[in-house]
Structure 1
Amino acid sequence: MAKKVVIIGASGHGKVVADIVIQSGDQVVGFLDDNPNLGKDFIGFPVLGKIDQFHNYEEYWFVVAIGNALIREKIVTQLYGIRWYTAIHPAATVSDIGVFIGEGTVIMANAVINAGSFIGKHCIINTGAVVEHDNRIEDFVHVSVGVKLAGTVHIGKRTWIGIGASVSNNLSICFDCMIGAGAVIVNNIEEPGTYVGVPAKRKNVNEDTIFS
């Protein structure tokens, strides 16, 4: 039976998540969003109200379509007693051997999740990203478009890996890191912060210029 899904976040990311829901044979009920400038509908689906009205739709499934990990985590902790929808695009490749994907996670088209990998709750594995064998990705991580994670990589909670970045095998990146677009990680990262370049080094920079 098709699942009926409420999407939190009426934005560009929300559009992609809606498409995954539809492509998976499920139904988009509508969106919840706190943006006061939204109209009554978004991409042809109703805007059901603000996020704190979630309790009016508890019979449905929910997914958070917001890229920012801190905001995503805050919303998840506020929404209690609901069912989380895990959105996996039919065009994603997910191994049948020892893969775990946590609730509320979104895996987009052409992403690859190879054998033995663990993906935590409410993560984003974006379009065309490669998660090689035996990776461990903690909750609320965002792996951006075209990222390549080699084998046995560990990504800490709430870390964002920017577009096209690469992480060499057998490395760990700690929690609350921002990895810049195109960065190449060749050493363990043990301190939260922003890392850019080839090879990546810690920088004090305006994150908006790196990850937007």
Structure 2
Amino acid sequence: MYLYGASGHGKVIVEIAEENNINIEGFLDEDLSKNQLLNYPIINELPDKNIEVVISIGNNQVRKKIAEENTQFSYLILIHPKAVISKRATIKEGTVIMTGVSINSEVKIGKHCIINTNASIDHDCIIDDFAHISPNVALAGNVEVGEGTHVGIGACVIQGVRIGKWCTIGAGAVIIKDIPDYAVAVGNPAKILKYNNI
């Protein structure tokens, strides 16, 4: 298996692979100044063949671009062994789930998502492709998070709320009503400051 992206986020993901006893061939990174990370080699030229890959880049837009441009790769799911995940949850390719995460019944998580350290996702939530649920986020039941949305560290979302696509939810925000596509929402209760230009 290879990790695409040799940076701090890659360090966390490589340790999840190690915890699962997955053989890591190295990192892929087009930055020619990089040649090694955590004693793994960095390959600067992308292979044009079917290899097993996890994209280890935190930026949601960059992750989407890489996935769309490299359909020759087989994208794995990585789950830390100290995450607690319902047997009725579904998780799609490329998604990474960090230590301490709790995912409850009938949760649906899309492709290439990041479910970060100690996040809690309650029953029947839907997390769309390329979303990032940051450390210590708490989503109550029946919450929807749209494609590419970044829910900031420590944010809380009450039950039944829909957050649109490519939104940014600020650190510690408390979301008590629906948030439209592309909105940047911060505070308690959260208010929309502006809209992302994506």
Query: Does the TM-score normalized on the shorter chain lie above 0.5?
Result: yes
Tell me the residue number matched to 1:209: none
2:42 is aligned with 1:47: yes
Tell me the residue number matched to 2:127: 137
SS at 2:47 equivalent? helix
Percent identity of equivalent pairs: 41
2:61 is aligned with 1:66: no
* Contact 1:54/1:79 (<8 A) preserved: no
* TM-score normalised to structure 1 length: 0.89
CA distance in 1, matches of 2:123, 2:20: 25
Describe how 1:1-212 pairs up with structure 2 within 5 A.
5-38=1-34, 40-50=35-45, 53-55=46-48, 58=50, 60-96=51-87, 98-204=88-194
CA distance in 1, matches of 2:23, 2:108: 27
AA in 2 matched with 1:93: V
Moved over 6 A (4+): none
SS at 2:24 equivalent? strand
AA in 2 matched with 1:37: S
* TM-score normalised to structure 2 length: 0.95
Q: How many equivalent residue pairs?
A: 196
AA in 1 matched with 2:183: G
Higher helix share: 1
Q: CA deviation at 1:37?
A: 2.2
AA in 1 matched with 2:67: V
AA in 2 matched with 1:77: E
CA distance in 2, matches of 1:74, 1:202: 27
